[in-house]
Amino acid sequence: MLVERAGDVIPYVVRVLQERRTGDEKVFVMPERCPVCGSQVFREEGEAAYRCIGISCPAKLKESLTFFASRGAMDIEGLGEKLVEQLVDRGLVQDVADLYSLTKEQLVGLERMADKSATNLLNALERSKSSTLTRCLTGLGIRHVGEATAKLLAEKDNPQADIVWGLAATSLMLLKNEGMLEPYAPAGVDKLDAKFVDQADPPAWTGMDAWAAVICFNTVEGERLGLPRPTSWQDLLDPVYQGQIVMPNPNSSGTGYLDVSSWLQLFGEDEGWAFMDQLHQNIATYTHSGSKPCTLAASGEAAIGISFEFRAARLKEEGAPIDIIVPEEGIGWDMEATAIVKGTDKLEAAKTLVDWSVSEKANQMYNEGYAVIAIPELAQPVKFFPENIQAKMIENDFDWAASNRERILSEWQQRYDSKSEPKS
């Protein structure tokens, strides 16, 4: 096969060189048993990864200990892969808790572990006991609980904020599902478009403004490269666009996640992942910014950028040779929203701010950065903004998108992260 460097130097398979096959190749068959511990190998429906389900698998233990000690988790200096391997192989550590029972006598007998190194490691372990609950929850490696979710869980019984303002609705749904929002119907909520109000009574959150996915197509590059103008999401699967499309990484961009979650809603889970598998073949790179794909298309550094509509309209107004395309199947969208954090001791002040957040004055201010706002009749026309965009906005199931967020992002990362641009 032909591979190339992509993302963080992760090999990306460009194509299979079938002409080099000799006929002696063997079909790979996924083992039914873990080669390390012999336990059953399991693949959860809808995911790509196969996992050993063995509770005491040494390989799983080594990986979990290494992650627990990593900088993003407990940050235990000196506890790297080589040392973890020795600790497990010699039976000194059988779970995370055993790390805190290690003695200097046990450590100095290990390879490359002299008296000073052992002392430093024990000191690092001691310091980690004072780490935050957020880091501890992250380090335990609970599936679908990343750093952000761990922080929310850690602060659940001791909230550090009074109000959440301007957070994506899909993210607020995570807080709602954890019982962390104070329901409140602000004065003037009846003036908002129904799409911008949580369906609960009273609502847990209210929307402010929205952004929606569009395709930015550079007409100059399209003509130079002989690329047809796409009119649908399915059009982007044409091999003629190979290496010509840029879109946001959903793990670092809310715009990217609304793209992915909307495709899964539009096409269904199986067909949605199949669509993204094919689209991936035509992707040049995944960016860590929602606006960057359209910016790259506007400058001619990419022929096609999957981005959001307001940025696209502004770039076209500045003279960029782009067509703003609203795919015929429908488009994903998300909104910025406001909610009160349950448990705040400043409840009345929080309600006052939420009342203002749905006011006409606030919506007029939102309109300075967004074309679609919660009170539609107040929205001023934006030059080059697609006229039919609100009609194409899908019935977005925010609850589903929020509940399945960690699962979807994990699956996406396993499948496609090899083409993500390096983080600056």
**Binning pLDDT at 50, 70 and 90, where does residue 7 land?**
very low
**Do 331 and 262 form a contact (C-beta atoms < 8 A)?**
yes
Contact 225, 293 (CB under 8 A): no
pLDDT band at 8 (very low <50, low <70, confident <90, very high): very low
Q: Supply the pLDDT for residue 45.
A: 53
CA distance 195 to 337: 11
Domain spanning 160-415, CATH architecture: 3-Layer(aba) Sandwich (3.40)
pTM beyond 0.85: no
Q: Which of 64-78, 217-231, 250-264, 364-378 has the highest mean pLDDT?
A: 217-231
Cβ neighbours of residue 420 under 8 Å, at least 6 residues apart?
7, 8, 249, 285, 286, 288
Provide the pairing of β-strand 206-218 with 304-308. Answer: antiparallel
Query: If we measure between CA atoms, which residue out of 275, 301, 280 comes closest to residue 216?
Result: 301
- 157-166, 217-226, 389-398, range with greatest mean pLDDT: 217-226
**Average pLDDT, whole number, for the chain?**
88
Where exactly are the structural domains of the chain? 59-135, 160-415
Residue 37 CB-density burial (10 A; 0-12 exposed, 13-18 middle, 19+ buried): middle
pLDDT tens by residue, 31-70: 889 999 988 887 765 455 778 888 889 999 999 999 999 8
Fold of 59-135: DNA polymerase; domain 1 (1.10.150)
